[in-house]
Amino acid sequence: MQRDGRASAVALVGLGLLCQEVGASFGVLMFGLTNPVAVVAFRLVFAAMILLIVTRPRVRSFAGRQWRGIVLLGVVLTTMNVAFYLALERLALGVTVTIEVLGPLVLAVVMAKKKRAWLWAGLAFVGVAALGGGGWDRLDPLGVMFALIAGASWAGYILAAARVGREVAGVSGLALAMTVGAVIVLPAALVIDAPAFINPTIILLGLGVAVLSSVIPYTAELFALRKITESTFSVLMSLGPATASIVGWLVLGQHLTVLEIAGIVLVVAASMGAVLAAGRTAPPAEPVA
């Protein structure tokens, strides 16, 4: 039963990654119509609306500890998304996610309790470095900085989402965290580009970004984090650069070099090793009702 649970968790992570990067590519297409902060606002506002309608959370039933976890997750989500799209405005999708994934990888190394976990994390780190394609010196410094901030926030998201997943049943906590994020970012987006919010094309693209980049992946990841440990999840998320590079090539025409392909192979190998290692690691505790 536990093995089946871990297998389903891995499948959820894979689904979340694919949707995440396809949604990110839609976000790139929006850059010609509006700015990154507005893209994040559309993503969080629509995602919050959808999840609130589906879950209908009983906000009065939550304890103070649960609310603190929800607010923390909302703040981390907002920081991660804003930094990610600001980086994506300056860097290719695959490169952005390659730098961003360093956050989860560092978390995986810090939380590792077995030498084998360190081996897989190290192999994934080599793959991430190779995915740079030897062109790190040509990267926009500001874009790199935003991608690093997104990576640090991603590590924080993993910890915060795991906490909310344990303390709040279902996806109500995620719905409220999205709402917190929407409240934070929407005023800034309206100040920067209010006309975008009455443009039908931008609204439709924003809805697509919200569903693909937030609703599906975050829900999938929240359930996955109930069956596998944060460290295993972190290494699995190293598939992100590979997925992003492939989606960037197919959707945005961003081609891969031989070195980048080699990096993808290393990252996939490391992720497979993490899946095998997960069979010997106990999953986190079930969420509190």
The DSSP-derived string for 130-161 is HHTTT-GGGS-HHHHHHHHHHHHHHHHHHHHH
Residue 202: pLDDT above 60? yes
Cα angle 85, 131, 127; round to 5: 120
Range of the domain at 134: 2-278
Distance, in Å, from the CA atom of 241 to the CA atom of 212, rounded to the nearest integer, reads 17
Is residue 288 domain-resident? Answer: no
Residue 82: pLDDT above 90? yes
Least confident among 141-145, 222-226, 233-237 = 233-237
Is residue 287 domain-resident? Answer: no
- Listed in sequence order, the residues at least 6 apart from 123 whose beta carbon sits closer than 8 Å to its beta carbon are 266, 269, 270, 273
Distance, in Å, from the CA atom of 107 to the CA atom of 36, rounded to the nearest integer, reads 27
Distance, in Å, from the CA atom of 90 to the CA atom of 78, rounded to the nearest integer, reads 19
C-beta separation of 49 from 8 below 8 A:
no
Q: pLDDT (tens digit, 9 = 90+) per residue, 85-113?
A: 999 988 888 778 878 877 877 777 777 66
Confidence of residue 287 (pLDDT cuts 50, 70, 90): very low
Pick the closest to residue 101 from 72, 132, 74 (CA basis). 132
Residue 186: pLDDT above 60? yes
Mark residue 56 as left, alpha or beta (left: phi above 0; alpha: psi -120 to 50; beta: remaining). left
Is residue 286 domain-resident? Answer: no
Residue 210: pLDDT above 50? yes
pLDDT average, residue stretch 258-286: 63
C-beta separation of 143 from 96 below 8 A:
yes
Q: pLDDT (tens digit, 9 = 90+) per residue, 112-158?
A: 666 777 777 788 778 777 766 555 556 788 998 999 999 999 889 88
Is residue 269 domain-resident? Answer: yes
Distance, in Å, from the CA atom of 199 to the CA atom of 169, rounded to the nearest integer, reads 37
Is residue 246 domain-resident? Answer: yes
Is residue 289 domain-resident? Answer: no
Is residue 247 domain-resident? Answer: yes
Percent of the chain's residues with pLDDT above 70: 83
Which is more confident, 231 or 76?
76
Tokens of 251: 């959707």
Which is more confident, 52 or 269?
52
Q: Model-level pTM?
A: 0.79
Confidence of residue 263 (pLDDT cuts 50, 70, 90): confident
Tokens of 115: 């030498």
The total of structural domains in the chain comes to 1
| Helical segments of the chain, H only | 2-30, 36-55, 64-88, 93-100, 102-111, 115-131, 141-167, 172-193, 200-210, 216-224, 230-236, 239-252, 258-278
Count of other CB atoms within 10 angstroms of residue 229:
21
Residue 72: pLDDT above 90? yes
Q: What pLDDT does 136 receive?
A: 57
Average pLDDT, the chain: 80
Residue 214: pLDDT above 60? yes
Is residue 26 domain-resident? Answer: yes
Q: What pLDDT does 277 receive?
A: 61
- Listed in sequence order, the residues at least 6 apart from 171 whose beta carbon sits closer than 8 Å to its beta carbon are 51, 54, 55, 219, 222
Confidence of residue 278 (pLDDT cuts 50, 70, 90): low
Which is more confident, 289 or 52?
52
Q: What pLDDT does 120 receive?
A: 76
Half-sphere exposure of residue 23: CA atoms within 13 angstroms, side-chain side:
29
